[in-house]
Amino acid sequence: MSIKKIVTAVLLVLLSVSLVACSNSAKSTKTDSSLSDVQKRGTLVVATSPDFAPFEFKRLVNGRDTVAGVDVELSKEIAKELHVKIHFLTVSFTNVLGSVAIGKADYGISGISVTEDRKNSFEFTEPYFESKNVVVIRKADLAKYTSVDSFAGKSVSAQKGTIQEGVLADQIPKASAVSLTQNSEGVNELKSGKIQGIVMESAIAQGYINSNKDLTLAKITLKKVDGSSYAIALPKGSIALRNKLNSIITRLKKEGKIDDYVEKANQESEAGK
Ligand code: ARG
């Protein structure tokens, strides 16, 4: 092969490599401005449902309603690292997912369980917490509800839009399922005897049990389900922002910060009761 031919071949290879590189970067900047949008706006918009201590709850600070909890601390740390302000959209749990899906929020954080099904509609970060499902009952009924079958014909609630609705339907199928917008409504109905149990996650159940001495956990072990860890949900395609969040979450986990947030949030939410 002549020198000329070799040079031409090398040039052709270089040209095609750079063309591919160009089109790749053009694609990523055109279709994903999730991170740069936040930076340009200077504010991170976060959807959350503050009815889920210790992850998110309302707290009065100097007479003003604020949101507090693990997810709030985590989000503040994220905003700090991005050098932007933060705005919390406080909505019901179903609307957390809804507002992320339509891009009204940069992300949703609300103790959201990652499931295969939700992965079809959202981008998820790395998980930051592991959860498990339990059934809260009245202490007086401890000897009565000792198996899932013992709830046959009884009313058991789960929060609307959560995976606990599925846990209830699949694992306690003989109960009559009640969907409530908030777990606190379930707690009131349980205490007054209108319902006999509530399916919720153990970290949340513990808070209710600590402040309601008439409530306890049923001695039943529910099976582990798809959705045993919490992560942040972003609109489909928000890859750049998700990658940034992943690096922050990885660092905070390594530094043991998530455990610190849980401890602080438990203290704050207990103090507020
Ligand atoms: N982990 C459950 C789910 O994703 C419940 C989350 C409820 N969160 C809330 N802030 N109320 O389905």
Q: Are 109 and 248 in contact (CB under 8 A)?
A: no
Neighbouring residues of 255: CB distance < 8 A, sequence distance ≥ 6: none
Q: What is the pLDDT of residue 8?
A: 58
Is 93's C-beta closer than 6 angstroms to any atom of ligand 1?
Answer: yes
What pTM was estimated for this model as a whole?
Answer: 0.88
The tens digit of pLDDT for each residue in 234-261 reads: 999 999 999 999 999 999 999 999 999 9
The tens digit of pLDDT for each residue in 36-48 reads: 999 999 999 999 9
Q: What is the pLDDT of residue 27?
A: 46
The tens digit of pLDDT for each residue in 93-146 reads: 999 999 999 999 999 999 999 999 999 999 999 999 999 999 999 999 999 999
Work out the angle at residue 210's Cα, subtended by the Cα atoms of residues 111 and 171, and round it to the nearest 5 degrees: 55
Is 183's C-beta closer than 6 angstroms to any atom of ligand 1?
Answer: no
Q: What is the pLDDT of residue 183?
A: 95
Helix ranges (H only) for the chain are 3-31, 34-41, 70-82, 93-101, 116-119, 163-171, 183-191, 202-211, 239-254, 257-271
- Looking at ligand 1, which residue's alpha carbon is closest to its atom 5? 162
Ligand 1 centroid, distance to 113 Cα (angstroms)? 7
Query: Could you check whether the bond before residue 235 is cis, i.e. omega within 30 degrees of 0?
Result: no
Ligand 1 centroid, distance to 23 Cα (angstroms)? 40
Token digits of residue 207: 């808070």
Pocket test for ligand 1, best of 159, 167, 198 (most atoms within 8 A of CB): 159
Is 54's C-beta closer than 6 angstroms to any atom of ligand 1?
Answer: no
Neighbouring residues of 29: CB distance < 8 A, sequence distance ≥ 6: none
Pocket test for ligand 1, best of 164, 202, 228 (most atoms within 8 A of CB): 164
Q: In angstroms, how far is the first alpha carbon of the chain from the final one?
A: 84
Ligand 1 centroid, distance to 112 Cα (angstroms)? 5
Q: Are 183 and 110 in contact (CB under 8 A)?
A: no
Is 113's C-beta closer than 6 angstroms to any atom of ligand 1?
Answer: yes
Pairwise CA distance, residues 141 & 197, whole Å: 10
Is 141's C-beta closer than 6 angstroms to any atom of ligand 1?
Answer: no
Kindly report the average pLDDT of the chain as a whole number.
92
Backbone angles phi, psi at 254, to 5 degrees: -65, -35
Q: CB count, 10 Å around CB of 77? A: 16
Pocket test for ligand 1, best of 52, 57, 125, 198 (most atoms within 8 A of CB): 52
Query: Domains of the chain by range and CATH?
Result: 33-130+227-272 (3.40.190.10), 133-217 (3.40.190.10)
